[in-house]
Amino acid sequence: MNNDQTAGPDYVNRGFQYGDERPPPYAPVYPPLPSDHASDGVPQYTPSVINTHHPVTPAQAENPTTQRKERKRIQCRWILCAVVSVLAVLAVTGALLWYFLYYQCLLGKTCGDGGACLSASQWCDGVKDCSKGQDESQCFRLHGTNFLLQSYSPEGQTWRPVCAEDWNDQYGKATCEQIGYKRGDYVSSTQISVGSMAHGGYMKVKSGYTPGKYIQSLLKRSQSCTVPAVSLRCIECGVSDAAPRTRIVGGTQAVRGAWPWQVSLQINGQHVCGGSIISPYWILSAAHCFQTYSKPALWTVHSGHVSLAAMSWISSNKVERIINHKGYDPETSDNDIALLRLSTPLTFSREVRPVCLPNVGVNFSPGRQAWITGWGALRSQGSSPDTLMQAEVTIYSRDTCNREEVLDGKVTETMICAGKLEGGVDSCQGDSGGPLVAKEGQVWWLVGDTSWGIGCAWKNRPGIYGNVSYFIDWIYEQMKNY
């Protein structure tokens, strides 16, 4: 992770990174005048004038019965035209109603995939209205560094803290499972004070009520709570016993256990990309890593050590499924995120632990410090180390990184920009998919996954990472479905 000013920008973290005129109008040809018989009293031919707007023959004009039949035919044609017009108007009206009420769904929300449009009150009410249950998903979230549990209130269409009154661990386990974790990952439900966050009221357990399939069915809106709110820990995450405590310049070697969520993703024993442990079964990485090698059977996940050589002696985990974000664009690197589901779960230890997925309200604002880790090259097109490297970087705003002299508008909302504008610190080839993390509230949070960059550690060329906060709903949805 050194300064490299070789000429020529190079994308390095992509995963191995009318003519014819109209004819003249028809002119009728009349028979020639018999000039040699004019004096013989033969009548001269005089062409009759045809009314092209009403092609009625002289015989019809002279027959009243024929005229009545023709008027009836005309009336029928007018009636038919009127009926067709009305049907057309109805069809257009129906299409517009479908578009605005269902596709646009101005009166509520759609189930997705062309599904029904539901009223706002039908979302998170504990009753499955969408065929795939979309209306009852993402009804809980965790807020802030104290893991405040919030539930969506369909009446107020707002997020409210869950009152700890009558709450217990069984409810906690069911909620964590509905978010996307396994019951076996569950840690605890504790009580915390929420202060002004409860100004709109709480969601409270209904007394003597047994929940159905969805835990939100046991909650009701309440303006008060006699005890504090629920703090929910679904998994023990973000704990490091050996992470550096002081700022450093450039990259240094990490010690064992410093970044226990860091994994090496390998093919045939060779490191290809990095990744982050987020649960015993799930690894988060970058979609671009799996464009060429997309079969899960090719990949193994190695963890538990800072040395690649040492990890070759430690048992690895096979990959059962690779889930790339459907919106991933290899041209722009938009939506560069992927999830790997393991065939067997990881065994957690001091050296193997998950990083915390970002809660709503956790501070990753521009200007704060974060850390990058990986086994990537130490300079552009350079060799890669055997020992895991670590470096501290600064998170920058998209406005800063999109300046013309920096990355010239290439950073989208699905991305996080971090590094050093003065150069000298950056991720590089082989770091792809690895973590960008920040510490807040005594735990480490996964801010991004290494996506792309121009050169390595160049001035005005910070690295780009997938914005994990942007994808959090997508992540939990995949974890819940598999």
Give the per-residue pLDDT at 251: 81
Provide the CATH number for the domain formed by 259-342 in this structure.
2.40.10.10
Mean of all residue pLDDT scores within the chain: 83
Read off the pLDDT of each residue in 438-461 and give the average, rounded to a whole number. 96
Model confidence pLDDT, tens digit, residues 317-333: 999 999 999 999 999 99
Whether 450 and 274 have beta carbons less than 8 Å apart is answered as yes
Read off the pLDDT of each residue in 400-418 and give the average, rounded to a whole number. 98
Q: Is the pTM of this model over 0.85?
A: no
Identified catalytic residue from 135, 185, 336, 426 = 336
Give the per-residue pLDDT at 53: 34
Give the per-residue pLDDT at 89: 75
Identified catalytic residue from 288, 302, 305, 325 = 288
Burial 325-345 (b: 16+ CB within 10 A, else e): beebeeeebbbbbbbbbbeee
Whether 130 and 115 have beta carbons less than 8 Å apart is answered as yes
Does residue 40 carry a pLDDT above 50?
Answer: no
Give the per-residue pLDDT at 249: 52
- In the chain, where the domains are located: 121-233, 259-342
Does residue 7 carry a pLDDT above 80?
Answer: no
Pairing of strands 262-267, 369-374: unpaired
Give the per-residue pLDDT at 134: 84
Rounded to the nearest 5 degrees, what angle is found at the Cα of 200, between the Cα atoms of 366 and 363? 15
Rounded to the nearest 5 degrees, what angle is found at the Cα of 117, between the Cα atoms of 116 and 119? 135
pLDDT band of residue 192 (cuts 50, 70, 90) is: very high
Give the per-residue pLDDT at 247: 57
Phi first, then psi: give them for residue 178, nearest 5 degrees. Answer: -70, -30
Does residue 72 carry a pLDDT above 90?
Answer: no
Give the per-residue pLDDT at 163: 97
Does residue 48 carry a pLDDT above 50?
Answer: no
pLDDT band of residue 102 (cuts 50, 70, 90) is: very low
Task: Based on the residue annotation, tell me whether 207 is a catalytic residue of this protein.
Answer: no
Q: Which helix (H) or strand (E) holds 64?
A: helix 64-98
Task: Based on the residue annotation, tell me whether 166 is a catalytic residue of this protein.
Answer: no
Task: Based on the residue annotation, tell me whether 271 is a catalytic residue of this protein.
Answer: no
- What amino acid occupies position 79? I
Question: What is the distance between the alpha carbons of residues 230 and 209, in angstroms, rounded to a whole number?
Answer: 18
Instruction: Report, in angstroms and rounded to the nearest whole number, the Rg of the chain calculated over CA atoms.
Output: 36
Q: From 3.40.50.2300, 3.40.50.2000, 3.50.50.60, 3.10.250.10, which CATH number describes the 121-233 domain?
A: 3.10.250.10
3-state secondary structure of 266: strand
Share of the chain above pLDDT 70, in %: 77
Does residue 301 carry a pLDDT above 60?
Answer: yes
3-state secondary structure of 481: helix
Read off the pLDDT of each residue in 269-277 and give the average, rounded to a whole number. 97
Identified catalytic residue from 279, 303, 432, 451 = 432
Question: What is the distance between the alpha carbons of residues 223 and 373, in angstroms, rounded to a whole number?
Answer: 46
Does residue 173 carry a pLDDT above 90?
Answer: yes
Give the per-residue pLDDT at 66: 56
Q: Which helix (H) or strand (E) holds 170?
A: helix 169-179
Does residue 90 carry a pLDDT above 60?
Answer: yes
Model confidence pLDDT, tens digit, residues 229-254: 999 999 999 999 998 866 555 689 99
Does residue 187 carry a pLDDT above 70?
Answer: yes
